[in-house]
């Protein structure tokens, strides 16, 4: 049996945060990626972008101080840091598409070894589709990172040779941070960056089902 422990959600967020450099402009996707903001190492100045027209987004306000004209992409009340700015939606997405955002962190259903991303739809019959800003972010940021559990609840790898769910973008993911290991997607396939303590490469390759270059 395994002698390793999965990263908790907070440990995973901290692992992602460790790679965000001083001065970066970062967009954190809705859901799990928003946790990354709580783990940015002290001393690094990072500017958070929110797709609804905010740069320099700060943490949630204290109870009773909510302003519903100041919300994040997940529609929760936030604050503005000194130096922050507001702008309209077309400018906000120009920041993404124009390559002005350094890093975006997104969740995913599947990522292919070469960085194709599927994170907006499971293609399930009868489901109501919704895409939001996922395609714009995935395609536009200088680096797109994914954070997710490596395996589905059924034990299947979410890192795949080819995505079976509808695509969000082609060859757009640079790095994948998971509860078991960190990977880089390259045109030649997956490269292993790190694993949790006690997880052997051979065991990880067996779980992923794909070759991992060093």
Partner 1 sequence: MIDKIAHSVADALAGTPDGATVLIGGFGTAGIPGELIDGLIAQGAKDLTVVNNNAGNGDTGLAALLAAGRVRKIICSFPRQADSQVFDALYRAGRIELELVPQGNLAERIRAAGAGIGAFFCPTGFGTELAGNRETRVIDGRPYVLEYPIHGDLALIKAERGDRWGNLTYRKAARNFGPVMAMAAKKTVAGVHEIAELGMLDPEAIVTPGIFVSRIVKIARTATQAGGFKEAA
What residues are annotated to the active site?
51
CA-based R_g, the chain, Å: 18
Cβ 202 vs Cβ 129: under 8 Å: no
Closer CB to partner 1, 66 or 203, in the complex: 66
Minimum CB separation from partner 1 for residue 15, in Å? 28
Which candidate, 109, 123, 108, places its Cα nearest to that of 33? 108
Place of tokens 């998971």: 178
Minimum CB separation from partner 1 for residue 127, in Å? 8
Closer CB to partner 1, 85 or 156, in the complex: 85
- Burial of 107 from C-beta contacts in 10 A (0-12 / 13-18 / 19+): middle
Residue ranges binding partner 1 (CB under 8 A)? 50-54, 64, 66-71, 75, 80, 86-90, 92-94, 96-97, 126, 128-136, 139-140, 166-170
Closer CB to partner 1, 132 or 211, in the complex: 132
Minimum CB separation from partner 1 for residue 164, in Å? 13
Task: Determine phi and psi for 147, rounding to 5 degrees.
Answer: -125, 130
């Amino acid at each position: 049996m395994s002698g390793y422990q999965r990263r908790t959600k907070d440990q995973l967020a901290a692992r992602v945060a460790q790679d965000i450099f001083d001065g970066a402009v970062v967009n954190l996707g809705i859901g799990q990626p928003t946790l990354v903001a709580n783990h940015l190492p002290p001393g690094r100045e990072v500017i958070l972008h929110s797709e609804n027209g905010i740069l320099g987004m700060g943490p949630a306000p204290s109870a009773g101080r909510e302003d519903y004209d100041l919300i994040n992409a997940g529609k929760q009340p936030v604050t503005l840091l000194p130096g922050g700015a507001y702008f309209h939606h077309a400018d906000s997405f120009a920041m993404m598409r124009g390559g002005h955002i350094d890093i975006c962190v997104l969740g995913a259903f599947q990522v292919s070894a070469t960085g194709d991303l599927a994170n907006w739809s499971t293609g399930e019959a009868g489901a109501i589709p919704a895409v939001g800003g996922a395609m714009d972010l995935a395609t536009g940021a200088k680096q797109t990172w994914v954070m997710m559990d490596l395996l589905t609840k059924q034990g299947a790898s979410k890192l795949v040779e080819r995505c079976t769910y509808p695509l969000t973008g082609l060859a757009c993911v640079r790095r994948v941070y998971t509860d078991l290991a960190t990977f880089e997607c390259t045109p030649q396939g997956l490269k292993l960056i790190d694993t949790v303590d006690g997880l052997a490469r051979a065991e990880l390759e067996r779980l992923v089902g794909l070759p991992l270059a060093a």
